[in-house]
Amino acid sequence: MFELQKIVVGIRNSSLSQSQTNFLLQKVLSSDPKLKKDLFDIKTIKTTGDIYNAHRLDRIGGKGLFIKEIEEQIISGKIDIGVHSMKDVPAQEVSTDLDIICWMKRHNANDALLSNSGKKLMDLPSGSVIGTSSIRRRSQVLHLRKDLSIKLLRGNVDTRIQKLINKEYDAIILSLAGLARLKLEHLVTEVLDFKSFLPAACQGAVGVQAFKESQIKEIFSPINDTETEIECLTERRVLKNINANCNSPVSVYAKIKNDQIQIWFELYDHTGQKIFQKKVSAEKNNHFELSDTLSDEVIEIVGQRKINELDYLKDDFNYTPD
């Protein structure tokens, strides 16, 4: 093991980022008794997405808004690693010098509904106001319930929940993994199933980013979850191939079972119409080939131009039924 005096860890300034990072570092310290807690120095960094926390993400860039400043500080040498919610990391890499050197075991990837009334999504009264900032979730709600209103919801998890409590929304949709990491699962009204709410690529996964050649990888390698790594790289490859990102109304989820890998993929338009759906499988070792075959089919049937258009929501994010 090489000698290191200090590892500076860059994270977003949020309770979820802090919780994820504390869990990560506990795992690392448990993996090697020679490592000491004071080896790690956590530095919070305000990202563009956090600063402009009342704006539509797609209108202020969308791609990498929650990781851009952290990546810049790794490259400049101000921090050694960044800890990210991997669904926030664009599939199109900003810097070829950086890599995800460790993947934490993925938590449950489902979305969750929190409602003031305690009613599930399909039982909410017509006109109920649903809060989200995700264009994917917006389309999925519209696919099921065009009689509901949708209202932009930004801020960290605590802020979003407080807005629900303040009755600014009748219900909100959040990641189940984030709620679990903050020990807020008791607030969940309904865990939304994959049939209706297939998740975003890498939802529920946390990754450690550093320079590709960084020796720090040695410290994190004992806790790297290989299955999570393969599943998430598979999902990210599909997004990269079709030039989609976190602004796109696209869901992709990969799962390994008995040396087989399955990929579920869905693409919506902004009115809630499902324009492509596919489930494919192959041997685990052929996960990239499977991603490429699926991507080619999406592009052939939907068209790259249409996929690119879906990257930008021309209409108001807020939706009110006719």
User: What's the farthest any 2 CA atoms get from each other in the chain?
Assistant: 64
**Would you call 88 a catalytic residue per the annotation?**
yes
Residue 311: what are its φ and ψ, rounded to 5°? Answer: -70, -15
Please, which contacts does 291-296 make with residues 24 or more away whose CB atoms are closer than 8 Å? 291/234, 291/237, 291/238, 291/241, 291/263, 292/237, 292/241, 294/238, 294/263, 294/265, 295/237, 295/238, 295/241, 295/242, 296/241
State the DSSP string of 191-231.
EEPTTT-PPPTTTT-EEEEEETT-TTHHHHGGG--HHHHHH
**Could you tell me the two tokens for 196?**
């209706």
**Could you tell me the two tokens for 244?**
């989609």
State the DSSP string of 88-147.
GS-SS-S-TTEEEEEEPPPPP--EEEEESS---GGGSPTTPEEEE--HHHHHHHHHH-TT
Q: Which of 88, 111, 170, 311 is catalytic?
A: 88
Sign of the C-alpha dihedral computed for residues 137, 138, 139 and 143 taken in this order: positive
Tell me how far apart the alpha carbons of residues 276 and 267 are, in angstroms, rounded to a whole number. 5
* Distance set, CA 188 to CA 111, 127, 211 (Å): 10, 21, 38
Check if the beta carbon of residue 242 is closer than 8 Å to that of residue 311.
no
Tell me how far apart the alpha carbons of residues 272 and 33 are, in angstroms, rounded to a whole number. 52
Tell me how far apart the alpha carbons of residues 170 and 130 are, in angstroms, rounded to a whole number. 6
State the DSSP string of 4-20.
-S-EEEEEESSHHHHHH
Q: Annotated catalytic sites, by residue?
A: 88
